[in-house]
Amino acid sequence: MLRIWTTRRLASQCLIPWRMFPTTLISTRNSSIGILHDTLDRNSDSYTRNSKVMDELVSQLHSHILKVMEGGGPEAVKRHRSRNKLLPRERIDHLIDPGSSFFELCQLAGHELYQESLPSGGIVIGIGIIHKRLCMLVANDPTVKGGSYFPITVKKHLRAQEIAAQCKLPCIYLVDSGGAFLPKQAEVFPDKENFGRIFYNQAVMSSESIPQIALVLGSCTAGGAYIPAMADVSVMVKGNGTIFLAGPPLVKAATGEEVSAEDLGGATIHCRTSGVSDYFAHDELHALAIGRDIVKNLHMAGGPEVSGQTRADYKEPLYDVKELRTIAPTDLKQPFDVRSIIARILDGSEFDEFKKLYGTTLVTGFGRICGQPVGILGNNGILFMESAQKGAHFIELCTQRNIPLIFLQNITGFMVGSKSEASGIAKAGAKMDLFWPLNSSWQSIIRTFCGTLSLHSNYPYSMIQFISSQDHSSYRWKLWSWQLCNVWTCI
């Protein structure tokens, strides 16, 4: 990063007539990159009020997250441990590099969605570092309905595969599942984006040289048996790991044959006789160690690796990230300056703003998060034709340079009216839609605090989404700055 030799205050420039927090830019010598500096009034009533409301919401969110991380409850956990098994997040901790963090996704999936309790949708997904390589980890939680697949479980599994395919992350499946949840099988199996899509995605990613690795740590029954069968490499644990299309009770009912689970589809039969599995593990820790060795020897072309940076290699934001809770007002109609948000997530609060004087209701520019270059697009009002053109131009630039995009969204939509239509605003908006999906780099969408999201935002294109705004759900807030920094540290 450039060292700041001298600073000079520039006159604050209002982007919109009703902006709330004036922002100044401190220039650096021989550089167009400036340090964002805001004048947040920490003694104002709104600062105190916003902080109190947001603290309560964050506390609620954290309590819900802690609850879902307990899995299926004390009794289910006790039963699980009695079989000498680790919990899914413990398995992940043993698999990833020591001292590294697991970036868990979709923690609240399935919360209050069904009559049955389904913490985390019965499956844990996220990004972890194994031998300095980013990997997508998918771990069934057998303490939740035996790790069976509900419709939301399938959706979450597919979401993990979508991110892995886009970002070329090796997929590691920690399999311990009883297959589909039969009372809801009509909702699990039939459509294009349901259970069978998991196997299709495995085949497609494997053909694109994105490794598919399965560690069979428990039951793997019926349709679920295809996950290790279609993996490039599979590992099975002696005693606990089983793979079969039909379990012993069904085999007895169908054929009259009485056979144990181990003799029907255990590690010995599949590693020695059928060849379905490639590695024999004596216990879970052995299987996880083998999984690490497999990743170590991948030598795959492409895909992100860890940069090896430490916190000493980059600057922290100049302003306290906890103040993110105080910036956006509790009244959705009250505006705020998105630069106050940007200043609290970028390294050293340094921001190279792009087209600052044009299309001022969209703030665009370059910065770094944990040392990694990113492109920032932040709404500062509704989109006019000029703002849309500016956004399309900036997205195209980032696509050409392979720079990840971060969207700070707080918008109700495009400007309407005869003047806007005559300006060709629909065409300008279409350009943003055109260039956005072409960005092959990591994409993140962050809905800013108390923001609104219109139909024009097209957020399904994004690979990672942090839902950080007031929206229609009961869980409206999330402290995403630490998690975001955690992701970029990994790349």
How far is Cα 491 from Cα 346, in angstroms, rounded to an integer? 16
CA–CA gap between residue 129 and residue 114 (Å, rounded): 33
Q: Do 366 and 333 touch, CB atoms closer than 8 A?
A: no
Q: Name the band, by pLDDT with cuts 50, 70 and 90, for residue 308.
A: low
Two domains, one topology: 23-58+319-490 and 73-296: yes
Q: Is 483 exposed, middle or buried (0-12, 13-18, 19+ CB in 10 A)?
A: middle
Count of helices and strands (H, E) across the chain: 17, 15
In the predicted structure, residue 239 carries a pLDDT above the cut 60: yes
Residues in CB range of 334: below 8 A, 6 or more apart: 20
Structure confidence at residue 30 as a pLDDT band (50, 70, 90): low
Q: What pLDDT does 426 receive? A: 67
Whole-number pLDDT of residue 479: 36
H/E stretch holding 489 reads: helix 481-490
CATH 3.90.226.10 correct for 23-58+319-490? yes
- With b for 16 or more beta-carbon neighbours within 10 A and e for fewer, the 341-353 pattern comes to bbbbbbbbbbbbb
Pairing of strands 279-281, 372-379: unpaired
pLDDT of residue 31: 57
Domain 73-296 in CATH 3.90.226.10: yes
pLDDT at 460 over 50: no
Polymer length of the chain: 491
Secondary structure element (H or E) that encloses residue 219, with its range: strand 212-220
Asked if 205 and 212 touch (Cβ cutoff 8 Å), the reply is yes
The pLDDT confidence band at residue 297, using thresholds 50, 70 and 90, is confident
Q: Which pLDDT tens digit goes with each residue over 61-76?
A: 999 999 999 999 999 9
For the chain, what is the radius of gyration of the CA atoms? 25
pLDDT of res. 470: 39
Name the nearest CA neighbour of 211 among 307, 277, 299, 139: 299
Q: Tens digit of pLDDT for each residue in 407-436?
A: 998 887 766 676 666 666 666 666 665 555
Question: Is the model's pLDDT at 177 over the cut of 50?
Answer: yes
Q: Give the long-range contacts of residues 449-452, CB within 8 A, separation 24 or more.
A: 449/54, 449/324, 449/325, 449/327, 449/328, 449/341, 449/410, 449/477, 450/328, 450/329, 450/330, 450/331, 450/332, 450/410, 451/328, 451/332, 451/379, 451/409, 451/410, 451/411, 452/332, 452/410, 452/411, 452/412
The residue written with tokens 């399999």 in the block is: 175
Instruction: Say if residue 24's pLDDT is above 80.
Output: no
Q: Residue 296 pLDDT more than 70?
A: yes
Angle, helices 195-207/151-167, rounded to nearest 10 degrees: 10
Residue-level pLDDT at 371: 87
pLDDT exceeds 70 at position 462: no
pLDDT for position 456: 39
pLDDT attached to residue 459: 40
The interaxial angle of helices 385-401 and 425-435, nearest 10 deg, is 20
- Amino acid sitting at position 40: L
And the tokens for 187? Answer: 């909702």
**Does residue 313 register a pLDDT over 90?**
no
Helix (H, G, I), strand (E, B) or coil at 67: helix
Domain layout of the chain by residue ranges: 23-58+319-490, 73-296
466 or 419: whose pLDDT is higher? 419
Mean pLDDT of the chain: 80
Q: In this predicted structure, what is the pLDDT of residue 430?
A: 62
Query: To 10 degrees, the CA torsion angle through 424, 425, 429, 432?
Result: 70
Q: Cβ–Cβ contacts within 10 Å for residue 282, how many? A: 11
pLDDT, tens digit (0-9, with 9 covering 90-100), for 187-196: 888 778 889 9
pLDDT of residue 301: 60
Tens digit of each residue's pLDDT (9 = 90 or more) over 336-346: 889 999 999 99
Q: What is the pLDDT of residue 490?
A: 39
Q: Is the pLDDT of residue 55 over 70?
A: yes
pLDDT, position 469: 36
* DSSP 8-state assignment for residue 305: B
User: Is 50 exceeded by the pLDDT of residue 186?
Assistant: yes
pLDDT of residue 32: 56
At how many degrees (to 10) do helices 284-296 and 88-95 cross?
Answer: 40
Single-letter amino acid code for the residue at 454: S
Q: Which residues of 465-475 are buried (b: 16+ CB within 10 A; e: fewer)?
A: bbbbbbeeeeb
CA 442/CA 338 separation, integer angstroms: 22
> Hey, what are 127's tokens?
């990004």
Residue 133 is predicted with a pLDDT of 93
Query: Euclidean distance between the first and final Cα of the chain, in Å?
Result: 18
Q: What residues have CB less than 8 Å from 181, skipping those under 6 apart?
A: 145, 148, 149, 150, 153, 188
For residues 200-218, average pLDDT = 95
Q: Give pLDDT, residue 12.
A: 29
CA distance 359 to 300: 42
Residue 329: its pLDDT value, please? Answer: 80
Given a cut of 70, whether residue 41 has pLDDT beyond it is yes
Structure tokens at 479: 């402290």
Determine the longest span between alpha carbons in the chain, in angstroms: 86
The model's pTM is 0.76
